[in-house]
Each structure stands twice: as structure tokens, then as C-alpha cells.
Chain A
Amino acid sequence: MPAQAFNAQVRREQPRAVILDLHGEINGFAEEALNQAYAEAESVRPDTILLNFSDVDYINSTGIALIVGLLARARKQHIPLRACGLSDHYMEIFTITRLADFMGLYGDEASALASAPAGPAKPSESA
């Protein structure tokens, strides 16, 4: 199983939502690219940031820690963080770690964006 280098593209799908399309493996090597992409996303002061995991096939505990770091950052800036495209296994991991309690998990991008709040984000929003 060759390692897949991580990269992330920032995409604005709606005026107030920014999507981060994540590709590859989320581990310690992904830290710089992930944080850069997130910084770019938050720079436009969106109402929602959506992490799209459809093209991610591996997340280890360091990757979980990176996502926890993004979530902490988002909560500090009152930007709701959502996730879509997680496999059943990583949905379970997000549940075990209680990440699911603090970020909305959606099956796909459309349903995630459809449920995006119209107004300003609430700091305590959960799925």
C-alpha cells in the first residue's frame, strides 16, 4: 500500500461556505498542507468550513489530532466546521473520539451544504 501524499484544495461553493477538498493520507506529514489550506479558508471569514474526506483513505491518531486542532481553531473563531465523505470506519472513529459531538458529519457535500446555517454560526453547534 504505497503512501499517498496529502494535499488540500480550497473551494468556495457558496458565498458563505468554503470547502476543503482533502486528498491522500492525513497523518503527521499532512500538518503543513492542512493548516495552510485551513488558513486560506478562514481568511475569507466564511459562515461554514466543510472538510471533504471523500478522497481520504487513511487517518491516523496524529491526523485526528490535526483535525482536533482545526476544530479548536474554528470554535475559537466561531466558524462551524463540518465534515462529509467519511467512510463508515472513520465515522466510527469520529464517534469514538467524540469529534462527532462537535462537528456535523454528513454523508456527502450536498447534504452538508444544505444544512449549513443561514445566519452567523453558533459556537455550540453540534450535529
Chain B
Amino acid sequence: MGSKRMTSLLNAFTSLRRRREADTTKKPARSSASRVIMPSVDIAPDDPLVEYLVGAPEPVELKQLHLDTPAVRGLREAGVTLIIPLVSQGELMGLLNLGPRLSEQEYSRDDRRLLSDLATQAAPAVRVAQLVREQKSQERERERIEQELRIARIIQQTLLPKELPDLPGWRVDAYYQPARAVGGDFYDFITLDDGRMALVVGDVTDKGVPAALVMATTRSILRSAAQSQTSPGEVLERANDLLHPDIPPKMFVTCFYAVLDPRTGRLAYANAGHDLPYHRRGENVVELRATGMPLGLMPGMRYEERETSLAPGDSVLFYSDGLVEAHNIEREMFSFGRLMEFLGAKANGDDSLVERVLAELAAFTGAGWEQEDDVTLVTLERAERPHDDASHAGSSPAHLASDEHWSSIDSFTVPSAPGNERLAISLLENALREITIAPRPLERLKTAVGEATMNAMEHGNNYHAELPVEVEALLSGGRVMVRITDRGGAPMHEPELPDIEAKLAQEQTPRGWGLFLIKNLVDEMRVTSDGTRHTVELIVSREGENHASASL
């Protein structure tokens, strides 16, 4: 029994006593003496008096009580002469404290029996009253928690995307199921000015309103940084530096930030301590690994930036730890290994990746699963065959190559600086090292890619080093394709056809060989532009026999 409870009882008793005295106002001779109000006496639960009274639940005259405890002293100072313990089910519920009789006589045996009977009746009633009050208090606390959870849910659901991005040739899906306690999961899609899409999956430590508020702040910071920074690593760096000064102690945010170019399938990404997404190609599943500390822990962090390419049929699963840390009734965890194994298994039917993962999770956890944490899934799936959306016809490199199934081998970028076409050639050689390709078409392709990269750096990106040239190597049976993309947007300027005799006669500039060489070194050249980006596709036969050599 807490001391507060005991105090309350004393007050209640005092009130009762006052009311009773008020009823006797018709007897003025006694009323003045009865107006004495006893001060409250706090009795600590571990005061020896409590144990004494529970052991002997009878009226006790204080002057005969040989016990010197803080409670006894307090009662005596308050003018109490007789205490009647209220004991119910072996627990001291309170005390009836009486001062001296108004007649100034001792309490008689009958008085004490009467008071004892009264205590016997009152104790259970007091217990019930206390239980009711405790119940009401718990109810209020539950309502407060429920209200807080409602607010947290509203914050999160208001800020999660209302619609999924509509990317021709892609299937984007998302699923978010908050746990009862509402964790700090979030995801977001941000359309960038150059037609690319940023994708964010994150998780705030803690739960409820604090996590929801940090999630809202992080989302805003990331949205702002995404528009002002060009690379995923820089976005996370900026977000971390903005978040760190204001995030509450012991809280942080894990976050995976990726930028997809839906036209080429290139996916650049950086990671702030989040669970690694899985990239699925056929039955191969690899983690998209990049290192970096969670946001908000320390200022001045740097984030590794990586890049991959999503070929037709490829998919990527982004998720939160609520998925891999889900437990079944045997307390086994769903785990990364199980998820990876599942993703690598052959898929049947037309269900989306999200639907299949959720079905696997449900089969694992069984019916009646009490979700421990938020579960968030976001998937990117590139269509097996390039889309035939007429609105994009002619503007998408994927569309241009629609007759063949091209698989991406590798992709990379080179900064737009004079001489960097050599870097592109070197990286291309490295990308093709596992591919069987005859020396002659390989040399032709290298030179053509070098020239196309020079054009992209000079004419497309005006040698702005911060604008990279993107290069992707793809394979389709006996043919190799290399895509070179710049940010020029405008179609390539077709120079005057070089004429060696006019050049030697100095009627033409000695320059202007680049495009001429490209066209004469590859089997096929395709050019496309979407107004923002300009792409050249160069195709050669791996055997070299398809090439119409030196078609002058």
C-alpha cells in the first residue's frame, strides 16, 4: 500500500467526519469542539506500524502502543488517540483515526466493538473504491497512449506517398504495415528534374510520436537535399549534417537512398546504415552494398556511393528490419538468409514481388501473428520486354532496342574532362573482359566508344566535370551494345561529311572525324534524345562478320 493511498483515506475519513459533524449542527454546544480537523498523516508502506496492524486488525489506543515509528509519531502529533485498521484480504487499506471522545472519556469496549464492526464493513468497500479509481486511472493512461499512437499513425500515413510512380517499362510497388506501437519506418519517391527518380527507404529508432516527428523531419530534409545535390552520397551527407544538430539524444535514422534512371536502368545508391536491398537477376540475388553511418549520429559523415544496372526482368527489393526480424511461434526469425533464398527461387504466377514476399512472410509467421515492428517493402521491377508506350516511343533507349533482349553487363560513369575517353575505353575493356569478342570488333568498338564519349563530354556536357557521361555495356546473343548518355538533351549535331581532299586543300577544317569514325566502325548506331539526355547506342557483332567494313 502506497503512502499516498493511505493519506487519501485519511482525508476521505476527515471529510466523512466533517459531514457527520455538519449533521449535528443542531447541537451547537458540541459543534465547536467537533470542528477539529486532523492533518493528513503519511504512512510509508514499510513502516513497522503497517505490519503490526495487519497482524492485529483491532482498534489500537496509541498511548498503549509501544511502538515508536515515524507513522506513530505522526499520528500522535495529529492528535489521534485511537486507530482502527481497515484490513481487507490481508492488506491494510487504510485507518480510521479518532481523536479523544467529546465527552473526554475513554473509548468504551462497546465503542471499540462498534468501530471494529464498522472497519470490517468499510474495508472491502474502500478496496472496491480503490480498484475503481485505479481502473479509471489505467483507462485514462490507455486512452492517452492510444491517442498518441493515433497521432503517430496520422503523421506517418500523411507523409507516405499517396501514389506510386508511373514509370513506363517499370513496376514500382510499396507496402507499409505499422506495428501496433507504430515504429519509424518510411519510404518516399522523389521525381528529379532530369527525369530520374529518387527512392528512399528508412527507419527511425524509437516508436510512437517521437519517431514519427523525426521521420517527418528526415523526409523533408531528404526531399530538399535530393533536389539540390546530384549524387546519392552527397544527399545523405547533407541530410546527416542537417539532421544531427536537432535529432533527440539516442535517436538516429537508417536510410537507403537510390536514384533510378528509368530510361537506362542505371541505379546509383548510397546507404546510411540501412538493411541492404536485394538485386535479383534470374536466380541470382546480390546485396546492394554500400557503407555509411546512420543519419543523425555524428556530423561530417561520408557515404560510399555505388552503382548498378537493372536489366529487363531484374528487380530490387528494399525493406525494413520488421520483415527480416519477424518471428514465428517457435521464436525463429525470418532472417536475411531466408529472404535471400526466397528471392532466388523461381517465381510462379503473376503476383508482384511485394505480394510474393508478403505471402512468404505470412506462411512463416502463421495465423495470429502479432507484428512486432513496422514492415515496409518497396520494389522496383523492370519489365521483361521493353514497354511499348507510344508516348515514350523514340525517346527511350530501351525502346530503341526493342527487337532484342539486351542484358546489362556493366555500367559506369566518367567525368566530363578532356582525355577521359581513355578512361571510358579502359573501363569498357574491363567490363568486356569476361565476354568472348574477336579482337577486331573489340578494337573498333573501343575506338567508337572513345569517340562517342568525347562527343558526349564536349558537345553534350560542355566539359562540365560535374556532369558525368554514363556508359553501359549490354549483351544480346552475338552482339554487344554500348550506350553512351550525356545531359545535352539536344540531338547530336551532324557535322559536315569529312572529305580528305577538301581537308588537304584546306577547304575544310582538319577536324570533324569523330562521328564519321563511329559510323564506320560499328555495325549499328542509334541516337535518341528525350530533351534532357542524349543517348548513343553502338552495336557490334562479337565475331565481327556483320560489319560492312570501311563503307565509304
Contact = CB atoms under 8 A, between A and B. Distances in A.
B550 interface: yes
Range class of the A interface residue count: 20 to 34
Contact of B447 (A29, A62, A65, A93): A93
Interface stretch (B119-127, B351-359, B505-513): B505-513
Contacts of A3: 419, 422
A98 B551 CA distance: 12
Interface stretch (B22-30, B95-103, B468-476, B496-504): B496-504
B517 A68 contact: no
A9 B443 CA distance: 28
A61 B511 contact: yes
Contacts of B513: 61, 64-65, 97
A30 B388 CA distance: 47
A29 to B, nearest CB: 7
Interface in A76-127: 88-89, 92-93, 95-99, 101-102
Contacts of A93: 447, 517
Interface in B478-512: 498, 500, 503-506, 509-512
Contacts of A16: none
Interface of A is mostly: helix
A11 interface: no
Contacts of B429: 1
Nearest to A89: B443
B419 A96 contact: no
Contacts of B550: 92, 95-96
Interface of B is mostly: helix
Range class of the B interface residue count: 20 to 34
Given A61-B517, A97-B513, A1 B500 contact: no
Contact of A60 (B421, B500, B506): B421
B552 interface: yes
Nearest to A66: B510
B199 to A, nearest CB: 34
A88 to B, nearest CB: 8
B504 A72 contact: yes
Contacts of A10: none
B504 A27 contact: no
17 contacts: A1-B426, A3-B419, A3-B422, A25-B422, A60-B421, A60-B447, A60-B454, A64-B513, A68-B503, A72-B505, A75-B504, A89-B447, A95-B550, A96-B516, A96-B550, A97-B498, A97-B513
Interface of B: 418-419, 421-423, 425-426, 429, 440, 443-444, 447, 450-451, 454, 498, 500, 503-506, 509-514, 516-517, 520-521, 549-550, 552
Given A89-B447, A92-B549, A97-B517, 7 more contacts: A27-B419, A60-B447, A65-B509, A65-B511, A65-B513, A93-B447, A97-B500
